[in-house]
Structure formats: C-alpha cells, structure tokens
C-alpha cells in the first residue's frame, strides 16, 4: 500500500514536498528505464554470449574463461561498495548519483568493445588480456554506472508506489537491451562474416546505442530527495557503524538474495542456452527465438504488474510468480528436446519471473526507508552498492562453476565454432539447463515466505514522517 495516500499534517506535508515525496513524470519513468536498457545492451552480451565468443570464436579454453570470471568477481564485488561510498560523498549541481551516468557512458562503451579484441596468441597473453579488459568494463566502468543508476531511483522520489513504478519501468525496458544484444547478435555476426572481426563490429553498434540511451537517462531524470538538513543534525557516523547498520538490516539480506536469484537465473540460462541449442537441439539459431520469447514474456509480465500491485503486495505477488517459475521449468523436463514444448514452458516461466524481477528494486527502496527507521541512518548508495557486490559475486561464481563443469566434462573450444563435442560435454550442458534454474528459484521462494516488510511498511513511514517533522533522521 502506498503510504503517501494518507492525509498528512501540514507540517508533514511540507516536509514531504521538501524531502522528495513526488510523483515522477511519465517521460522520466521511461528515461529511467532506458538507463537499464543501455546497461543491458552491453551487459546482456557479457552475461550471455561473451563466453560463447571466447570459446568458439577467440579459441580461449574454458578453464581460462572460468578462472578470469571467478577471480574478477572478487575484485568486482569490492568495487561496488567503494562506488557506493563515492556516490554518498559526491556533490554536484546534478546531484549525487546522476552525474556518474554522464561521466562513465563513453568509457563503458570503449571498454566493452575492447573485450572482443582478444589477440590470437598464447593462453597466458589471452588470460591477461581478458582479465584486464573484462575488469575495466565490469569492475570499473559498469560498476561506476550501475551502482549510481540503482541509487538514483531512491533519490528521485521517496514514494514507495512511485519507486515501484520506476522499478517496473526499469525491468520492463531492461530486457529490450537484452533483445537488442542477444537476439540480434548472432544473426548480425553471421551477416558480417561470422568471425571475431564481426563480433567487434556488432558490439560497436550496440555500444553506440547504449551511450545514446544513457544520455537520455541523465538528462530526463532528476534528484529530488533532500534530507541534508536532517543529516546535518546528526553526529558524523563512522564507517563501522554504517557497515553494522547495513548488515543488521534483515531486509537488506532478503532483497540481496532475491536480486541475486534473478541474476543467477539469467546467468545460467544466458550462458548455457546457446550451447544447449547448438549441441543438444542441433540448431544454434533457435537460441534467438527462445531467448526473444522469454524476454518478450518478461516485458508483458512487467507491464501487467502495476495493475496487479493494486490488489496484491510485492511479496505475495512475487511469491506466486516464483512458484510458477519452478513448476514451468520442471515441466520442461517432460520433453526437453521438443522445441515447441520448450518454447511454451519458457514463456510461462518468464511470466512467473516477471513480478519479482519487476519489483525487486522497489523492495530495495523500501529497505532504505526501513534502515533509516531502524538505525537513524539513510544508506541509499550502500544498500545498492553492497547489493550489487553480492549479485556480482554470486553470478561470477555461477559463471565460473559452469565453465569449470563444462571444462571438466571435456568441452572442446575452437576458433571457428565447429567443434564436435563429446557425449560427456553434451550431457553436462543438459544437466545445467534442466536443474540450475529450479535450485535458485526454490531459494527465492524460501526467502519470500519469511519476508514481512510489506506488512510493517506503513508503520515505518508514519514514524519516519513524525521524526523528520522534528528535523530528525
């Protein structure tokens, strides 16, 4: 329920206006969503087809790819917390989070293209080239955009309902980036020569689109939340207390796990599905059809969420959706090699995935308010920064484990994409596809069963309004 619909006292009403309890214009909602479209034009490639490019076009051994991704994620994870601190200390005419989107747009694009310029050299040189370019793109540039971008939603408004809508617009438009990058990449690559140079050209096109969308996000999204006066009235808080307050927030951990689940699922499907289509179904072009169906269904489900949220709270809606995901994916195993059946179950699974994917960032906004209520500290950038650290480590470990499992199963890398895989490798590809998603979504169901923030949220916001009316945090 949107707490802003209650009639506040005059003092509280004025405070709400000053503190950012505002309605977001439609153009700003769309522009905010386009920010994640941009991120996923690039990161969608990284999270899905990059491994395929490394192994089947650049000729990089699976074990090399796995090691790079595993080691990199620990660097990448720490960078998110650092970025969260930097955002909290940033002061410009554009705000705290917003300027980073402008500053890092072009560096992000350049680094993304560089990942596909892997030299045809020794394994050692390839390892270090991949390690450096991968981390420049993901650890540095992507982090410097995505953490501020996530934080921006909590700085645009304090209305829970408006944040939910921003989260929904984000997740409705985010898949568009994946559609551009993932669905069209393989056809465009084949049209341009189906070699490494073709991948470089294709990625360059996607990066131009990404930069334009980031600029739109920057110019159309404004920061309105301002609690500087209340913050000034509190004593300077050390890093130890900040970290303790964050780690003692049970709903931070809950939303961190839920966010990670959605990303791990994407990593499993995105990484394994190209191999599944190529080596199990025998047709790698089917990948684009299945992935597009999944993404379009996710968008349709996200569009339906605002209407559904009028009748159900975020937790109940997400819990029902997660159950649908598990059931639909389990049914895939009835006939896992039938393309029509796989396509139908993929659509149902994606519709079930939509609620949690759409509202998880709205949940994180609620976590910020709960954290302020519990500890008298407002930690927007730390919540999103530490949350991003968690999901990156989780997805990185997932990618590394999957690549090492495939390497251990005898997967053969090549430079032309034409290697014939042994039965052991094909069997491992199938096993990952069948069971990986079910395991992670069961985790989400368990977390949501114990998630109670929606029930106590009106009380939390009422008490915060009373505090802030007195000039307190």
CATH number of domain containing 39: 1.20.1250.20
Contacts of 384 by beta carbon, 8 Å cutoff, 6+ apart: 84, 147, 150, 151, 154, 364
H-helix or E-strand containing 449? helix 423-449
* Confidence bin at 384 (pLDDT 50/70/90): confident
CA distance linking residue 325 with residue 353, whole number of Å: 6
Average pLDDT over the chain, rounded to an integer: 87
- Residue 137, domain member (yes or no): yes
Q: What sign does the dihedral 394-399-404-409 (CA atoms) show? A: positive
Total domain count, the chain: 1
* Confidence bin at 236 (pLDDT 50/70/90): low
3-class DSSP state of 361: helix
* Confidence bin at 235 (pLDDT 50/70/90): low
- Residue 448, domain member (yes or no): yes
Closest CA relative to residue 17, chosen from 469, 415, 445: 469
Contacts of 235 by beta carbon, 8 Å cutoff, 6+ apart: none
Give 260-311 pLDDT, tens digit per residue: 999 899 889 888 998 999 899 988 878 888 988 998 899 999 999 999 998 9
- Residue 304, domain member (yes or no): yes
For residue 80, what pLDDT is reported? 85
Q: What are phi and psi of 2, to 5 degrees?
A: -80, 115
CA distance linking residue 287 with residue 267, whole number of Å: 15
For residue 1, what pLDDT is reported? 40
Give 204-221 pLDDT, tens digit per residue: 999 999 999 999 999 999
3-class DSSP state of 396: helix
* Confidence bin at 5 (pLDDT 50/70/90): very low
**Residues facing 92 on adjacent strands:** 95
- Residue 201, domain member (yes or no): yes
The dihedral region occupied by 95, where left means phi > 0, alpha psi between -120 and 50, and beta the remainder, is left
- Residue 202, domain member (yes or no): yes
Q: What sign does the dihedral 455-456-459-460 (CA atoms) show? A: negative
**Cβ atoms < 10 Å from Cβ of 296:** 16
For the chain, the straight-line distance linking the first and the last C-alpha, in angstroms and rounded, comes to 23
CA distance linking residue 260 with residue 188, whole number of Å: 31
* Confidence bin at 19 (pLDDT 50/70/90): low
**Cβ atoms < 10 Å from Cβ of 217:** 26
Q: What sign does the dihedral 268-269-270-275 (CA atoms) show? A: positive
Give 112-145 pLDDT, tens digit per residue: 999 999 998 888 999 999 999 999 998 899 999 9
Give 167-191 pLDDT, tens digit per residue: 999 988 988 888 888 778 888 999 9
For residue 227, what pLDDT is reported? 63
Residue percentage of the chain with pLDDT more than 90: 56
Tokens for 151, please give them. Answer: 């934080």
10 Å CB burial of residue 228 (0-12, 13-18, 19+) is exposed
Q: Give the residue numbers spanning the domain of 357.
A: 23-223+239-469
Q: Is the pLDDT of residue 78 over 80?
A: no
For residue 126, what pLDDT is reported? 93
- Residue 310, domain member (yes or no): yes
CA distance linking residue 297 with residue 281, whole number of Å: 22
* 146 touches 388 (CB < 8 A): yes
Q: Which of 16-20, 94-98, 206-210, 412-416 has the lowest mean pLDDT?
A: 16-20
What is the pTM assigned to this prediction? 0.80
- Residue 6, domain member (yes or no): no
* Confidence bin at 7 (pLDDT 50/70/90): very low
For residue 229, what pLDDT is reported? 52
- Residue 455, domain member (yes or no): yes
**Cβ atoms < 10 Å from Cβ of 337:** 11
Most confident of the following: 135-149, 385-399, 404-418:
135-149
* 72 touches 139 (CB < 8 A): yes
For residue 421, what pLDDT is reported? 86
């Amino acid at each position: 329920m949107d707490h802003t619909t209650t009639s506040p006292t005059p003092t509280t009403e004025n405070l709400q206006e000053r503190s950012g309890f505002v309605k977001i214009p439609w153009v700003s909602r769309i522009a905010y969503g386009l920010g994640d479209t941009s991120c996923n034009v690039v990161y969608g490639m990284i999270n899905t087809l990059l491994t395929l490019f490394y192994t089947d076009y650049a000729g990089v051994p699976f074990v090399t790819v796995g090691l790079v991704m595993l080691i990199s994620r620990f660097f990448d994870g720490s960078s998110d917390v650092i970025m969260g601190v930097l955002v909290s200390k940033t002061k410009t005419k554009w705000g705290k989070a917003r300027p980073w989107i402008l500053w890092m747009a072009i560096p992000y694009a350049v680094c993304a293209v560089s990942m596909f310029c892997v030299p045809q050299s020794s394994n050692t040189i390839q390892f270090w080239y991949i390690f450096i370019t991968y981390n420049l793109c993901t650890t540095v540039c992507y982090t410097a955009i995505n953490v501020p971008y996530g934080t921006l939603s909590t700085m645009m408004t304090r209305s829970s309902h408006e944040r939910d809508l921003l989260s929904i617009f984000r997740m409705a438009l985010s898949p568009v980036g994946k559609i551009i990058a993932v669905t069209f990449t393989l056809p465009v690559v084949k049209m341009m020569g189906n070699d490494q140079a073709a991948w470089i050209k294709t990625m360059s096109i996607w990066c131009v689109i990404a930069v334009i969308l980031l600029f739109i996000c920057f110019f159309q999204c404004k920061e309105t939340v301002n609690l500087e006066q209340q913050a000034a009235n509190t004593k300077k808080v050390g890093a130890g207390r900040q970290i303790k307050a964050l780690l003692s927030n049970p709903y931070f951990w809950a939303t961190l796990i839920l966010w990670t689940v959605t990303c791990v699922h994407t990593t499993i499907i995105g990484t394994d599905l190209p191999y599944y289509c190529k080596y199990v179904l025998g047709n790698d072009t089917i990948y684009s059809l299945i992935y597009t169906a999944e993404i379009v269904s996710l968008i349709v489900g996200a569009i339906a969420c605002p209407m559904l949220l009028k009748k159900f709270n975020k937790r109940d809606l997400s819990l029902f959706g997660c159950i649908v995901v598990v059931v639909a994916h389990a049914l895939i195993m009835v006939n896992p090699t039938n393309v029509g059946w796989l396509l139908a179950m993929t659509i149902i699974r994606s519709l079930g995935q939509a609620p949690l994917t759409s509202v998880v960032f709205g949940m994180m906004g609620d976590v910020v308010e709960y954290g302020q209520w519990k500890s008298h500290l407002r930690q927007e950038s730390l919540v999103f920064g530490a949350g991003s650290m968690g999901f990156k480590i989780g997805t990185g470990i997932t990618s590394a484990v999957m690549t090492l499992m495939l390497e251990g199963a005898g997967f053969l890398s090549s430079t032309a994409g034409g290697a014939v895989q042994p039965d052991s490798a094909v069997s491992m590809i199938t096993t990952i596809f069948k069971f990986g998603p079910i395991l992670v979504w069961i985790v989400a169901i368990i977390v949501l069963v114990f998630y109670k923030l929606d029930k106590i949220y009106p009380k939390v916001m009422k008490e915060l309004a009373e505090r802030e009316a007195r000039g307190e945090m």
